[in-house]
Amino acid sequence: MDIYSSTPMKHDFIFRPITANAKLSMNPRSDVNFSSPKVDLVVNLREVAVELNRPQYISILELLGSVDMMSRNLPYRKYRPQFHVHTNAYIWWQYVITGIMEVDVKPRLHMWSWQRIHSHRQTVKRYRALYKSKITNKKPTEKLLREVEETERTLDIFNITLARQQAEMEASKAGLRIFRPGVKVEEESQGWLGWMWSGWSGDDGAKSKEVKTGAFGEIMTPAEKAKLYTAIGYSEVAVNHNLPKNFEDIKIYFHMKRMSFSMKDNKDQNEILKITVEDLKSMLTQRPGAQAIKLSAQLSLFEVKGLANNRPAPTLLSSRKAATVTGTPLLDILFETNPLDESADQRLRVESQPLEIIYDAVTVNSMSAFFLPPDDLQLDELTNATLMKLEQFRDRTSTGLMYVIETQKVLDLNVNLMASYVIVPQTGFYDSTQNLMLLDLGHFKVSSLSRKGLPQLSVGSRTIQDIMSQAYDSFNIKLSSLQLLYSKPDRDWRKARKLKQSDLHILEPVDVKVVFSRAMVVTDSRMPKFKIFGEMPLLSLRISDDKVRAVLELINSIPLPESRPAPRSTNTHSTPKVLTTGSLSPCLWVDFVGHSVG
């Protein structure tokens, strides 16, 4: 059955209807029967189609801009008057002044004043004492809970979290029992003699209960427990050691037959760009006996087609033409933790077949025009927010990489990327009658160096320099056959690409070898954090006046995307803009309100 057979043609889709089927098998006795996984899931997707046209793209930008405008206007909403802008300029000017003063100016002035600092410190201390009383009382009073809630309204999340941690630490060190919400407290059972004794002694028994030393988890802070667990090699993750290390508890198989992404100017026009992925397979397995996971993915076809402008759609990126072995996947990725051979803690394998990439000026220029935002759309704040999120993501990624480095896991890395090449034709249109420039990206390989061949070290037999020289994880990086060629229509550039020397070469094949070493201990100032040793046996250029002139002519013949002309104003005063009151912001439209005064 065709996936689009029942699809209404008048609908303007972004995601077309998806057809999928799944099969789930479960083994209820997986703790004793290791013949099959506990969970075996197979998911098959027939086709996933994503379409985006220019009106949809503009609508998405307008929606994001509207959300951004509302979020920026949120701090000023409580000062916003309930009158129309026109004929009420004085009220709206007061709104602008009050909003900026109360939100932007006064907080900055008061933040660093001594009165503000002193008041803030007293509030934090008071909240710490109130929270300590709350967690050390089994049934806190309504007055105490109300005071805690009122104090929390004046503090931010950072100070609330910090004060709570300090209060819990003080209560633990004082030996007070901490009553956490949602945790059942087991009362000590007492007989009738104990009840009589507690009745004769008054409240002393209750007081003695309050100062009872907490449990092990309550005495130590999370940071102290983490340090202790690291020192003794303990993990809070429960591991069933009765399970075989090769037993796969969870097995998930995912197969997507086809996925496409296309962009159009309008719904009924030709596609500017179409990306097609076929036969994507992925497998995820978990081995709880070894605390291991294994993720593998394979891709058979990746193709990109351009704009068919009075011609057949050009193929910008193709794997079928460049594939060398039938049945070999285009991309093969394997990631595994704690492999069965125990030769490493983590294993990463990446292999890819060569790709043919062709530059098409019509497609590139059309894509540039597609993503060009309209003139009346304000995207400055949205762009700044996006860049800020990217910066936060970069910082978190760097922090994660530093954590991986500091944990000193043994990584078995093997990356093998076959040589892809980029074709840049003259006039930006590729056919058999055009001159072209070809950049061969070369065969790229990365592999981790094994530490098995290193000599054994023992205390006293080696110097500190010998020990420090081996305290590195090293990787072998090799780039071979990087080359640049210029060819005319009557020359066979495919044959010349496989040669070491030819009159078509500008840069003859270059081989680069690099050994990259990373220190296991990054806190020792005597050890370089990174060490790089490189080798380039030969760099050979074949340059002539004709080649330089031809390459420059080729570059100048490629049409570039049209840039939007800068707006030029003929008057010194800007034209007032007609806005709705819902989109007015005191930080954005002060000049508009000024025109209303006149």
130-176, pLDDT tens digit by residue?
Answer: 999 999 998 889 999 999 999 999 898 889 999 999 999 999 888 88
pLDDT in tens, 369-387: 888 887 777 666 556 666 6
Q: Are both 310 and 257 inside the same structural domain?
A: yes
Q: Domain containing 9: what range?
A: 1-46+249-345+356-372
Q: What is the distance of C-alpha 260 from the center of its chain? A: 23
DSSP state of 139: S
Query: Rounded to whole angstroms, how far apart are CA atoms 86 and 593?
Result: 9
In this structure, what token pair is assigned to residue 225? 């427990």
Contacts 24+ apart (CB under 8 A), 540-544: 540/507, 540/508, 540/510, 541/506, 541/507, 541/508, 542/503, 542/505, 542/506, 542/507, 542/508, 543/506
Q: Are both 328 and 424 inside the same structural domain?
A: no
Report the pLDDT value the prediction gives residue 411, as an integer from 0 to 100.
81
Q: Would you say 265 and 259 are in contact if contact means Cβ atoms under 8 Å apart?
A: no
* Residue 468: closest CA among 514, 524, 412, 410: 524
* Residue 244: closest CA among 26, 28, 32: 32
Q: Are both 17 and 135 inside the same structural domain?
A: no
Q: Would you say 324 and 354 are in contact if contact means Cβ atoms under 8 Å apart?
A: yes
Most confident of 249-253, 389-393, 463-467: 249-253
Q: Are both 253 and 213 inside the same structural domain?
A: no
Maximal CA-CA distance, the chain? 112
Does pLDDT of 7 surpass 90?
no
Q: How confident is the model at residue 507 (pLDDT cuts 50, 70, 90)?
A: very high
Cα angle for residues 368, 371, 374 (degrees, 5° grid): 115
Query: Rounded to whole angstroms, how far apart are CA atoms 586 and 598?
Result: 18
Report the pLDDT value the prediction gives residue 319, as an integer from 0 to 100.
81
Give the range among 204-208, 321-325, 525-529 with minimum mean pLDDT: 204-208
Asked, for residue 363, whether it belongs to a domain, the answer is: yes
Report the pLDDT value the prediction gives residue 70, as an integer from 0 to 100.
86
Gyration radius of the chain's alpha carbons: 34
Q: How confident is the model at residue 41 (pLDDT cuts 50, 70, 90)?
A: very high
Q: Are both 130 and 208 inside the same structural domain?
A: yes
Instruction: Please give the helix or strand (H or E) that residue 264 lies within, else none.
Output: strand 250-264
Asked, for residue 379, whether it belongs to a domain, the answer is: no
- Full-model pTM: 0.67
Percentage of residues of the chain with pLDDT beyond 90? 38
What sign has the CA pseudo-torsion 229, 231, 235, 241? negative
Instruction: Please give the helix or strand (H or E) that residue 505 lies within, else none.
Output: strand 505-519
Query: Rounded to whole angstroms, how far apart are CA atoms 542 and 485?
Result: 10
Asked, for residue 448, whether it belongs to a domain, the answer is: yes
Does pLDDT of 212 surpass 50?
no
Report the pLDDT value the prediction gives residue 375, as an integer from 0 to 100.
75
Q: Are both 474 and 496 inside the same structural domain?
A: yes
Q: Are both 289 and 423 inside the same structural domain?
A: no
Q: Are both 418 and 494 inside the same structural domain?
A: yes
Q: Are both 365 and 413 inside the same structural domain?
A: no
Please give the span between the terminal C-alpha atoms of the chain, in angstroms, as a whole number: 68
Q: Are both 298 and 423 inside the same structural domain?
A: no
CA dihedral 200→204→206→208, nearest 10 degrees, is -140
Asked, for residue 90, whether it belongs to a domain, the answer is: no
The residue with tokens 């004794």 is: 197
Report the pLDDT value the prediction gives residue 320, as an integer from 0 to 100.
57
Asked, for residue 441, whether it belongs to a domain, the answer is: yes
Does pLDDT of 344 surpass 80?
yes
Q: Are both 398 and 542 inside the same structural domain?
A: yes
Q: Domain count of the chain?
A: 3
Contacts 24+ apart (CB under 8 A), 131-134: 131/163, 131/164, 131/167, 132/167, 132/170, 132/171
Asked, for residue 53, whether it belongs to a domain, the answer is: no
